[in-house]
């Protein structure tokens, strides 16, 4: 077997090499096509020794976006990377191609190996291919997160260089221009864009545009503070330090806290996603080991219940994997998928579908409608009400259909087991040797004659079957005692074969699963809402940092502070946006409405201070405690991050290890214990009756 495995491995490697050579030849032939002229212009004048590889990645990208399945992943990666690689089309294409090429190099040999080794077991094949999909998704996401984290760490050095350049030039735009000359760093592109914003004819409008494409909130804060300093000038703080540099230091400290938080989250969750998917790999191994060591479990693992538990474990693994990945979200590049015209919108345009979906959507103004709308807002979902209900109905319908298909397949498997498994009276005391198994198969083939003949004859009685067996060529010469055992065995098999059909309670189970599946999208939104609530304290502390930077700048008012809070908010974005929109009609009333909409005490205190700054005291005095308690708030934020990571770690470990625990407890230990105890009881009863 090891020699065969080695041959398969060598064959797979050779096949992969042949595919790579073929792809290279095809791309080489297409070098002169019109589609690659743009690529040549992009790399014209490049004298890097890696030019050939650079061009290969560009051409590989062009070919990938033509393939439907790969195009989906390419566009998904592109949406995340093009925000980091600001307006750098060449680099974006290169990085997308690099990630996809590495993923394909892993996928092809793995897929060939999985299909070759599991050709006779379709359930295991599907399970392993699903695991492979999980692995590739995690691999690609990790690569993109690595690029984003690299940008964030580069910003630390970038801000340090800005400090030195500002001391030299004493002008914000000149300092940024000087530091932006390093083309090798990703952050330099962001610096160039911020410089262009500051020197433009309408910097305020251009700044708003930049806010929409900035890869993280820290660059937004830096761009905003740089603009305010350029417009209103720098000033000295109480201790004589530059206010601009002090604000820059505040942003740097925020970044350091964020980098530490991301590093800890990555460390905690670096293997949990894969652990949650690992049980798929061991399903067949556990089944084979249990049958080889305890032969009395063969009927369970090859029967209906064993098959259904296998399917249940695969579904549990899939759910736990999704939840673990959602839980890991570390706040890196946050880009939603393309929601302008998704498949739900296209489907909803059809009149028949629209009429059917509208029947399930709650009427506007009802409590149920308001509850769903609020849940979508709390979960920061980009879904519309109609799209959510299309998702719910599609998942419910597919779940019901898949459940019925699985139940039918389970019944077929149970029937097939009766026709193919060796017939013998072996038990937990041992397993059959080759000779015994051969004799057992002969008995099975004899029994199959009667099973096939009367499989669909539901009017047959046990007495009629006994007479048929006694007069048959297979068992006609058997003794009365042997005939009694044969009659009992075949009748028992026939009863099993005839009873394997879809029953009413199984249809009821399919309907229950359909109802559960119908609610799954809502439960995912609730889960996402709970995860967002963990970040509430962290977001309010970021608000405090923003206010601390703004309150000492002249001409800053309450409305401007609210606009900044709206720009950087995530969890509290909706109520703050309403407050900004209603501000002109009455500042105090708008802030009072905001205070009534929120329940988080720390944010309520900020709103009360803003109310005081509207009419009674200057902004600097209203938030004077933020400056004096800066060190305390920083330590509190670090401790808050520690608590959040600890909670996420605890929940993640429970979810991540759930499939592994279910594999060993439900699929291995429990069946062995139950079937073993039943077999022992039957054995003791048999021995007692023989005495």
Confidence of residue 15 (pLDDT cuts 50, 70, 90): low
Sign of CA dihedral 506, 508, 512, 518: positive
Task: Kindly state whether residue 452 falls inside one of the protein's structural domains.
Answer: yes
Query: Average pLDDT in the 477-489 region?
Result: 79
| pLDDT, greater one: 436 or 283 | 283
pLDDT band of residue 458 (cuts 50, 70, 90) is confident
Q: Lowest-pLDDT range, 42-56, 441-455, 472-486, 665-679?
A: 42-56
End-to-end CA distance of the chain: 48
- Highest mean pLDDT among 112-121, 243-252, 284-293, 466-475 belongs to 243-252
User: Mean of the pLDDT values across residues 62-87?
Assistant: 81
409 lies in a domain?
yes
Range of the domain at 451: 356-503
Q: pLDDT (tens digit, 9 = 90+) per residue, 193-227?
A: 888 888 888 888 888 888 888 888 888 888 888 88
Average pLDDT, the chain: 79
Out of 98, 117, 136, pick the residue that ends a domain. Answer: 117
Q: What is the pLDDT of residues 268-278, one digit of tens each?
A: 887 787 788 78
In which band, very low, low, confident or very high, does the pLDDT at 512 lie, cut at 50, 70 and 90?
very high
Instruction: Tell me the average pLDDT across 592-619.
Output: 82
- Give residue 511's pLDDT band: very low, low, confident or very high (50, 70, 90): very high
- The number of beta carbons lying within 10 Å of the beta carbon of residue 160 is 13
Q: How far apart are CA 369 and CA 377, in angstroms?
A: 13
Listed residue (489, 482, 422) closest to 450, CA to CA: 489
Which of the four pLDDT bands, split at 50, 70 and 90, describes residue 234? confident
Closest CA to 90 of 121, 51, 120, 116: 51
Res 401: pLDDT = 92
pLDDT of residue 686: 64
Which pLDDT does position 428 carry in this prediction? 45
Which of 483, 503, 523 is at the close of a domain? 503
Residue 514: per-residue pLDDT: 93
The secondary structure of 303-370 as a DSSP string is SHHHHHHHHHHHHHHHHHHHHHHHHH--S-S------SS-HHHHHHTSHHHHHHHHHHSPPTTSHHHH
The pLDDT of 76-84, averaged and rounded, is 81
pTM as predicted: 0.71
Where does a domain end: 89, 117, 145? 117
Looking at residue 332, its pLDDT comes to 44
The 10s digit of each residue's pLDDT in 388-436 is 999 999 999 999 998 898 888 888 888 887 887 777 655 544 556 677 7
Helices 558-568 and 587-597, interaxial angle, to 10°? 30
Torsional sign, CA 479, 480, 483, 485: negative
- Answer whether residue 656 shows pLDDT above 70: yes
* pLDDT at residue 333 in the model: 40
pLDDT at residue 394, as a whole number = 92
Residue 395: predicted pLDDT: 92
At 335, the pLDDT band (50, 70, 90 cuts) reads very low
The pLDDT, as a whole number, for residue 4 is 58
Distance from C-alpha of 77 to C-alpha of 97, rounded to nearest angstrom: 10
Position 371 in a domain:
yes
In a domain, 616, yes or no: no
Q: How far apart are CA 173 and CA 664, in angstroms?
A: 63
What does the pLDDT average to over 128-144? Answer: 79
Q: Which of 38-47, 388-397, 454-463, 640-649 comes out lowest in average pLDDT? A: 38-47
- Does residue 539 lie in a domain region? no
Report percent pLDDT > 90 for the chain: 3
Q: Count how many domains the chain has.
A: 2
Q: Any idea which of 34-43, 311-320, 405-414, 496-505 has the lowest mean pLDDT?
A: 34-43
Model confidence at 649: pLDDT above 50: yes
């Amino acid at each position: 077997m090891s020699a065969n495995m080695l041959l398969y491995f060598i064959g797979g490697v050779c096949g992969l090499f042949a595919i790579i050579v073929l792809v290279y030849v095809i791309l080489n032939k297409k070098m002169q096509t019109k589609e690659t002229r743009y690529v040549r212009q992009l790399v014209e004048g490049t004298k890097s020794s890696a030019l050939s590889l650079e061009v290969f990645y560009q051409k590989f990208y062009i070919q990938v976006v033509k393939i439907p399945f790969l195009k989906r992943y390419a566009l998904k990666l592109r949406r995340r990377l093009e925000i980091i690689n600001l307006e750098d089309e060449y680099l974006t294409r290169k990085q997308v191609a690099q990630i996809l090429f590495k993923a394909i190099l892993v996928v092809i040999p793995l897929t060939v190996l999985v299909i070759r080794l599991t050709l006779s077991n379709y359930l295991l094949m599907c399970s392993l291919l699903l695991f492979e999909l999980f692995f590739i998704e995690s691999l690609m996401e990790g690569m993109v997160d690595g690029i984003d984290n690299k940008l964030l760490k580069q910003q630390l050095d970038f801000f340090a260089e800005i400090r030195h350049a500002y001391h030299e030039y004493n002008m914000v735009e000149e300092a940024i221009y000087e530091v932006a000359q390093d083309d090798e760093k990703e952050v330099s592109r962001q610096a160039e864009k911020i410089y262009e914003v500051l020197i433009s004819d309408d910097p305020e409008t251009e700044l708003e545009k930049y806010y929409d494409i900035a890869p993280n909130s820290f660059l937004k804060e830096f761009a905003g503070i740089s603009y305010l300093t350029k417009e209103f000038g720098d000033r000295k703080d109480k201790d004589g330090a530059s206010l601009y540099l002090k604000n820059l230091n505040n942003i740097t400290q925020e970044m350091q806290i964020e980098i530490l938080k991301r590093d800890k989250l990555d460390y905690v969750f670096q293997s949990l996603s894969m652990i949650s998917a690992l049980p798929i790999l061991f399903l067949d191994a556990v089944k084979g080991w249990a049958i080889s060591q305890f032969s009395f479990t063969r009927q369970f693992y090859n029967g209906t219940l064993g098959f259904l538990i296998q399917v249940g474990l695969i579904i549990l693994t899939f759910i736990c994997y999704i939840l673990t990945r959602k839980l890991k979200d570390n706040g890196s590049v946050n880009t939603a998928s393309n929601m302008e015209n998704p498949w739900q919108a296209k489907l909803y345009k059809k009149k028949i579908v629209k009429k059917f979906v509208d029947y399930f959507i709650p009427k506007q103004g009802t409590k149920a409608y308001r509850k769903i709308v609020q849940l979508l807002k709390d979960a920061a979902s980009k879904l519309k009400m109609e799209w959510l209900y299309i998702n719910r109905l599609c998942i419910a319908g597919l779940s019901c259909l898949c459940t019925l298909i699985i139940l039918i397949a389970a019944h077929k498997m149970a029937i097939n087991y009766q026709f193919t498994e060796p017939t013998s009276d072996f038990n937990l005391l041992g397993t059959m040797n080759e000779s015994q198994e051969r004799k057992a198969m002969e008995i099975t083939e004899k029994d199959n004659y009667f099973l096939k003949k009367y499989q669909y004859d539901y009017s047959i009685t046990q007495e009629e079957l006994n007479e048929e067996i006694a007069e048959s060529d297979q068992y006609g010469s058997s003794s009365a005692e042997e005939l009694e055992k044969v009659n009992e065995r075949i009748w028992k098999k026939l009863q099993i074969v005839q009873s394997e059909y879809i029953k009413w309670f199984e249809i009821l189970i399919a309907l229950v699963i359909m109802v559960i599946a119908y609610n799954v999208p809502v439960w995912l939104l609730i889960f996402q809402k709970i995860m967002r609530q963990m970040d509430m304290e962290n977001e309010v502390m970021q608000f405090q940092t923003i206010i601390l930077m703004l309150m000492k700048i002249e001409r800053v008012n309450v409305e401007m502070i609210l606009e900044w809070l709206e720009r950087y908010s995530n969890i509290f974005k909706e109520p703050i946006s309403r407050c900004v929109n209603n501000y002109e009609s009455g500042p105090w009333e708008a802030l009072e409405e905001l205070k009534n909409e929120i329940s988080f005490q720390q944010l309520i205190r900020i709103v009360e201070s803003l109310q005081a700054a509207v009419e009674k005291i200057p902004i600097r005095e209203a938030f004077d405690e933020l400056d004096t308690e800066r060190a305390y708030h920083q330590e509190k934020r670090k401790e808050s991050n520690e608590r959040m990571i600890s909670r996420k770690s605890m929940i993640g470990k429970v979810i991540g290890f759930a499939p592994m625990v279910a594999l060993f407890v439900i699929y291995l230990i429990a069946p062995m214990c139950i079937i073993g105890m039943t077999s022992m009881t039957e054995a003791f009863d048999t021995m007692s009756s023989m005495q």
